[in-house]
Amino acid sequence: MAGDRTALAASTSAALLRYRVIAIVVGIGLIALVVVGMPLKYLGDNSTVVAVVGPAHGVLYVLYLVAAFDLSQRSKWSWKGTLAVLLAGTIPFLSFVAERIVTRRVRSQDPL
């Protein structure tokens, strides 16, 4: 029994690390897209940043969804908590807030 809990804790810890890394990367990418890319596109008539960062953010957001869903299943979150965390990657700065809340809750074993 103790070995099962240790293995579960290790897999949850690894899932949390994956989630944290991708949440930060997605958050930075979305901020770059919204704060730098969009003004350059619409005010400066230069869509280079949007053309590069936009698709990259899309791919990274899919990885974010996979990592967040994996963590939600390992941590036994409610469907509302899972949905809230999944949507956090779509609003600038919110992925950073969600990452801090998720980290605190997972470490204290308090499901969302």
Provide the pLDDT confidence category of residue 56 given band limits of 50, 70 and 90.
Answer: very high
HSE at residue 39, side-chain half, CA atoms within 13 A, is 5
What is the spatial distance between Cα 4 and Cα 25, in angstroms, rounded to a whole number?
A: 32
pLDDT at 9: 76
pLDDT by residue (tens digit) across 23-43?
A: 999 999 999 999 999 999 899
Task: Show Cβ contacts of residue 42 under 8 Å, excluding neighbours closer than 6 positions.
Answer: none
Q: Specify the pTM.
A: 0.84
